[in-house]
């Protein structure tokens, strides 16, 4: 075969190959362009998930007034060496502030957060700031020290965006998780990581936590009470603790912990029972179970009977004590440090379990008389039994 014929046979095949290469290159360029189009940050799953839940995440700022007894060091010197005090110890008030996070779980403004963020106190002021910059007052409803969960409500009548607890994350090892909250006071902060482990038991600052989920996403002061979500925007848990050091004092990295969403859901269901029983405002309206007579007139305490449902919801022992529903500022009860949410178990030497019994015991008390109250909490499980006997002067 001549050289010319050989070239004649090869050229068409080369042309076909060249044409195929051209179309392949064009297709590759088109696919690359399509990939670049899909890389738009606005369509990333993490961005969409954050946008879905962020309107329901709130920053929580609490203020609490605490009393401290202070003494002049020279008075202690005189008391030690001469056995007397010239001046009685005086009390001062200090305002303590704390920052945390939470999220709305109901359109009427109910919020779940950590108990340590909004610990129960009679003079606790709670301010809630939503993602749109609006600030509301809120009040404490119920809490559980064991699960470190608390339930508060915004004092406003409007519809709020919320996170649905009916559809929670499956919490699979290795899945991407996002922490949303008020990290070190910077609202709407986001951190990202993976779900590292489940059913972790840890102790932080002498507080024991059980069955937590572990993540390497950054959890900082202020994140406590904020949601941890998956890429679908479903709840993984509530950011609760960061372990900076092991019990042996070894520094750690990437060890954050959250209360599982299933525990949160169960806790919220219990708290909702309390919310149905308790008034929706900090100072309860007059009801058949609320005393506004002798206890309030003489000592500034509004009382509420501890029904079986209310005792179970709060975890208090049944058929014992009377709940302190509210404390009047600067009243004898307030000055003695009695807090809303505690219970009266004894007046003088008589145990009480109803408002009627309290009223009967206080019926003969007149202004200026001193009355002893045994106040505190007796848990249903027998734990945390802490009672204090306080002497109050009737006004």
How does DSSP assign 29-60, residue by residue?
HHHHHHHHHHT-GGG-HHHHHHHHHGGGEEEE
Per-residue buried b or exposed e for 302-330, using 16+ beta carbons within 10 Å of the residue's own CB = bbbbbeeebbebbbbbeeebbbbbbbeee
Tokens of 57: 């995440």
Q: What is the mean pLDDT of residues 352-364?
A: 91
CB 372, CB 348: distance < 8 Å:
yes
Alpha-carbon distance of 303 to 6, in angstroms, equals 108
Residue 58 pLDDT grade (very low, low, confident, very high; cuts 50, 70, 90): very high
CB burial of residue 36 (10 Å; 0-12, 13-18, 19+) = exposed
pLDDT band at 327 (very low <50, low <70, confident <90, very high): confident
Token duo for residue 392: 């109050």
Instruction: Report the CATH number of the 283-393 domain.
Output: 2.30.42.10
Q: Where are the domains of the chain?
A: 1-39, 52-154, 176-261, 283-393
pLDDT at residue number 246: 60
Closest CA to 346 of 388, 307, 289: 388
Q: Residue 64's pLDDT band (boundaries 50, 70, 90)? A: low
CA 165 to chain centre: 16
For residue 251, CA distances in Å to 41, 208, 243, 247 come to: 35, 19, 9, 10
CB proximity list for 349: less than 8 A, separation 6 or greater: none
Instruction: Give the CA angle between residues 232, 233, 234 to the nearest 5°.
Output: 90
- Specify which of 130-144, 169-183, 318-332 reaches the highest per-range mean pLDDT: 169-183
Domain 52-154 belongs to what topology?
Thrombin, subunit H (2.40.10)
pLDDT tens digits, 93-147: 555 566 889 999 999 999 999 988 887 554 568 889 998 889 999 988 888 888 8
Q: What is the dihedral of CA 383, 335, 340, 95, to 10 degrees?
A: -90
Per-residue model confidence as pLDDT tens digits over 270-289: 888 777 655 444 434 333 33
pLDDT of 393 strictly over 80: yes
| Those residues with Cβ within 8 angstroms of residue 8's Cβ, 6 or more apart along the chain or in another chain | none
d(CA 210, CA 149): 13
Give the per-residue pLDDT at 149.
92
Confidence band of 290 (pLDDT split at 50, 70, 90): very low
What pLDDT does residue 56 have? 95
* 174-203: average pLDDT: 90
52-154 and 176-261: identical CATH topology:
yes
Query: CA 105 from chain center: how many Å?
Result: 12
Which is it for the CA torsion 240, 243, 244, 247, positive or negative? positive
Half-sphere exposure of residue 173: CA atoms within 13 angstroms, side-chain side? 5
Residue 10: what pLDDT?
A: 47
Domain 176-261 class? mainly beta
The SS3 of residue 312 is helix
Contacts of 306-314 with CB under 8 Å at 24 or more apart are: 306/343, 306/353, 307/277, 309/273, 309/277, 310/274, 310/277, 310/278, 311/380, 312/273, 312/380, 313/142, 313/270, 313/271, 313/273, 313/274, 313/277, 314/142, 314/274
85-89, 157-161, 180-184, 264-268: which has the minimum mean pLDDT?
85-89
Lowest mean pLDDT among 1-15, 40-54, 297-311: 1-15
- The burial class, CB within 10 Å (0-12 / 13-18 / 19+), for 78 is middle
Query: pLDDT tens across 239-253, in order?
Result: 987 766 566 666 667
Residue 135 DSSP SS3: strand
pTM over 0.75: no
**In this structure, are residues 275 and 285 in contact, taking their beta carbons and an 8 Å threshold?**
no
């Amino acid at each position: 075969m001549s050289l010319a014929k050989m070239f004649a046979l090869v050229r068409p095949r080369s042309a076909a190959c060249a044409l195929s290469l051209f179309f392949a290159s064009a297709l590759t360029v088109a696919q690359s362009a399509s990939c670049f189009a899909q890389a738009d940050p606005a369509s990333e799953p993490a961005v969409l998930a954050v946008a879905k839940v962020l309107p329901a995440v709130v920053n929580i700022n609490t203020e609490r007034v605490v009393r401290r007894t202070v003494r002049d060091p020279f008075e202690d010197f005189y008391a030690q060496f001469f056995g007397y005090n010239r001046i009685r110890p005086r009390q001062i008030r200090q305002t303590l502030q704390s920052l945390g996070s939470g999220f709305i779980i109901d359109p009427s403004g109910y919020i779940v957060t950590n108990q340590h963020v909004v610990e129960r106190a009679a003079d606790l002021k709670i301010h809630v700031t939503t993602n749109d910059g609006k600030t509301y007052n809120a009040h404490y409803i119920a809490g559980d020290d064991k699960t470190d969960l608390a339930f508060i409500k915004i004092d406003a009548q409007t519809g709020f965006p919320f996170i649905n607890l009916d559809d929670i994350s499956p919490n699979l090892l290795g899945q991407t998780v996002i922490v949303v909250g008020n990290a070190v006071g910077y609202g709407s902060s986001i951190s990202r990581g993976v779900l590292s482990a489940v059913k972790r038991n840890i102790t932080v600052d002498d507080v024991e936590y059980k069955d937590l989920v572990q993540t390497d996403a950054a959890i900082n002061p202020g994140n406590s009470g904020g949601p941890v979500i998956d890429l679908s925007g479903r709840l993984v848990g509530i950011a609760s603790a960061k372990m900076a050091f092991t019990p042996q004092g070894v520094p750690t990295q990437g060890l954050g912990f959250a209360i599982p969403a299933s525990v949160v859901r169960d806790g919220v269901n219990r708290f909702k029972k309390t919310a149905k029983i308790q008034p929706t405002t900090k100072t309860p309206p007059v009801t058949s179970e609320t005393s506004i007579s002798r206890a309030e007139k003489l000592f500034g305490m509004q009382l509420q009977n501890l029904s079986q449902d209310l005792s179970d919801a709060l975890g208090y022992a049944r058929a014992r004590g009377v709940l302190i529903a509210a404390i009047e500022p600067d009243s004898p009860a307030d000055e003695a440090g009695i807090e809303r949410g505690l219970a009266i178990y004894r007046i003088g030497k008589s145990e009480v379990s109803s408002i009627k019994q309290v009223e009967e015991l206080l019926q003969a008390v007149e202004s200026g008389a001193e009355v002893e109250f045994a106040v505190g909490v007796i848990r249903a499980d027998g734990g945390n039994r802490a009672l204090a006997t306080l002497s109050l002067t009737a006004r």
